[in-house]
Chain A
Amino acid sequence: MSIGPDPCGPQINRREFVLSVLSTAAVSGGAGQARAQNQAQNQAQNQADAAPDTHAGSVPMSVVVNGEPHSLAVDPRTSALDLLRERLALTGAKKGCDHGQCGACTIHVDGRRVLACLTPAVQLDGRRVDTIEGLAGPGGGLHPMQQAFIDHDALQCGYCTPGQIMAAIACVREGNAGSPERIQEYMSGNLCRCGAYNGILAAVQQAAGQMGEA
């Protein structure tokens, strides 16, 4: 499906292979014809210059993820979360509820925290995405927020942790880490079923001081 260099390269795994075959199969029945018609329509529309872009079938897009540019074609039903996890093999952002209720899939888009599960992948076109995988420094050193989570045992099972950390970094940068109450309010979209909330609060407070932006 990729237009540019395949981001998965030779490491494509069985699940990705099956998924890519399935998604090709899904668009080949009927939608292929629709796409051909659509291209003809698009050509006609381009002559009347104000027509909006119309795509039946997959949509070409480009996105910069953790500093790396990717050009690819996506089915418009794909979520940003599935794009990251299944196409780009970045499994740090987690699929918890997949309905915007838990925060485990939190990523940054153009520096703002959003939920990858409720963001259609096509909305990332032309945007800059940062995930937990991109946090470490060039030498592999941890981000102060990652270190703070370790220092304060701010996790047990760890499933919510990538989302917590991405939300927490944004919370500090937004200026919403100035008091325990404010941190609690602005971290409330990230649920932790292990109940590590006290550790998370302490970690955000520590990192806020170190990030120098609280």
Chain B
Amino acid sequence: MREFTLIRARSTGQALQAMAAHPQARLMAGGTTLYDLMKLGVERPQAVIDINGIDELRAFDTSGQRELVFGALARMSDVAADKRLVADYPALSESLWRAASQQLRNMASLGGNLLQRTRCAYFRGGEPFACNKRVPGSGCAAIGGIDRGHALLGGSPHCIATYPGDFAVALVAFDAVLDVLGPDGMRTLPVEALHRLPGDRPDLETTLAPGEIIVRIRVPATRLGRASVYHKVRDRESYAFALSSAAVAVTMAGGKVEQARIALGGVATRPWRARVAEQGLAGRALTLETALAAGFAAFMDARTGEHNAFRVELGARTVADALMIASSRT
């Protein structure tokens, strides 16, 4: 691992100051992504700003009538076990406890989890594999390579790396926003606008500007929360990344779908809201047929490679199952 200067920030002000003094620095919270990638030589920061001492960002409050508020440094395990979340927003709780292991959830922060980097083996593997995300302009070894886990949606000729996180997918389904603090003060950023499509710059993953830090996540309180699920299909039952996942919430009125929210995980280059599928369900009865039709609608634009085509039907069926599970929770 390359040597680095360690800076320990104890307030958001100190973090901003440190980022201004060390423009190439990386922020470290739980470290479960950054430190791992530093060991692999994929991340080589000259300076690391440890933000774990910023106590003001640890708290979270799910009791609000208008919104749920989560400090960026709240730990995944603590939030997953929150009783209000388990009862009234099961998709949010499940997206957390179905991710990683309890050890990792005890370490990992919510803000860091949103910024978790791809598990693409060509990105993590380093030389001799080409990766436009790791070395811009070097090419993409995943396209035409072992692409079983790669993205079906949102890819470009330069990158098909899957966004690996779960929590961000559930947040996108609930129209959550971020409070982002930077040199020019605070701004609000929808979670859906946080991650970029790879396009021709896969190395640029988020819309955060240099010197900005996520300080809070806010989720509008909604009765959509109760009939919701984070359904995650994996190669094994637990402790694995999604082959496909869906965060789904529904409200029903008179036997018909009033409102549906569908976001996809494990299948796209960023958290993926499936609005066409949502709109197709509104006003219709929810049956296995309509649910499956919505599932396939969500994958209408899927582009498959050599080894990942099976995940189109898997993904569609994941959405359909999620819709049936969510509606059973009303």
Contacts and interface: CB of A to CB of B under 8 A. Distances in A.
A53 B101 contact: no
B5 A56 contact: yes
Nearest to B1: A77
Nearest to B51: A52
Contacts of B101: 103, 188-190
B89 to A, nearest CB: 19
B7 to A, nearest CB: 5
Nearest to B21: A54
Contact of B102 (A26, A56, A76, A189): A189
A162 B102 CA distance: 16
A44 to B, nearest CB: 12
B32 interface: yes
A100 interface: yes
B239 A119 contact: no
Interface residues of A, number: 41
Interface residues of B, number: 39
Contacts of B100: 189
A52 B17 contact: yes
Interface in B37-56: 38-40, 48-50, 52
Q: Interface of chain B, helix or strand or loop or mixed?
A: mixed
A188 B31 contact: no
Interface string B3-30: 1111111110111011000000000100
Contacts of B4: 76-77
A176 interface: yes
A185 B103 contact: no
Interface string A168-200: 001100101000000011101110000000000
B104 interface: yes
Contacts of A53: 7-8
A174 B32 contact: no
A122 B50 contact: yes
Interface in B153-211: none
Contact of A186 (B5, B36, B102): B102
Given A113-B102, A189-B101, A100 B17 contact: no
Contacts of A99: 36, 39-40
B107 interface: yes
A103 B39 contact: no
A77 B106 CA distance: 21
Contacts of B107: 114-115, 118-119
B35 interface: yes
Interface string B82-114: 000000000000000100111110110000000
A201 B8 CA distance: 41
Contacts of B40: 99
Given A31-B3, A99-B36, A120 B106 contact: no
Contacts of B287: none
A15 B191 CA distance: 48
Contacts of B32: 100, 115, 118
Nearest to A116: B103
Contacts of A100: 32, 36, 104
A76 B48 CA distance: 10
A16 interface: no
18 contacts: A27-B3, A38-B5, A51-B14, A52-B9, A54-B6, A77-B1, A77-B3, A99-B40, A100-B32, A100-B36, A103-B103, A114-B106, A119-B107, A120-B31, A174-B102, A185-B97, A188-B239, A189-B101
Given A54-B7, A123-B50, 14 more contacts: A52-B49, A53-B8, A59-B6, A76-B6, A79-B35, A98-B39, A99-B36, A119-B107, A170-B102, A184-B237, A184-B238, A188-B238, A189-B101, A189-B103
Interface of A: 26-27, 31, 34, 38, 50-56, 59, 76-77, 79, 98-100, 103, 106, 112-115, 118-120, 122-123, 167, 170-171, 174, 176, 184-186, 188-190
Q: Which are the 7 A-B pairs with shortest beta-carbon distances?
A: A189-B101, A188-B238, A188-B239, A52-B14, A76-B6, A53-B8, A56-B5
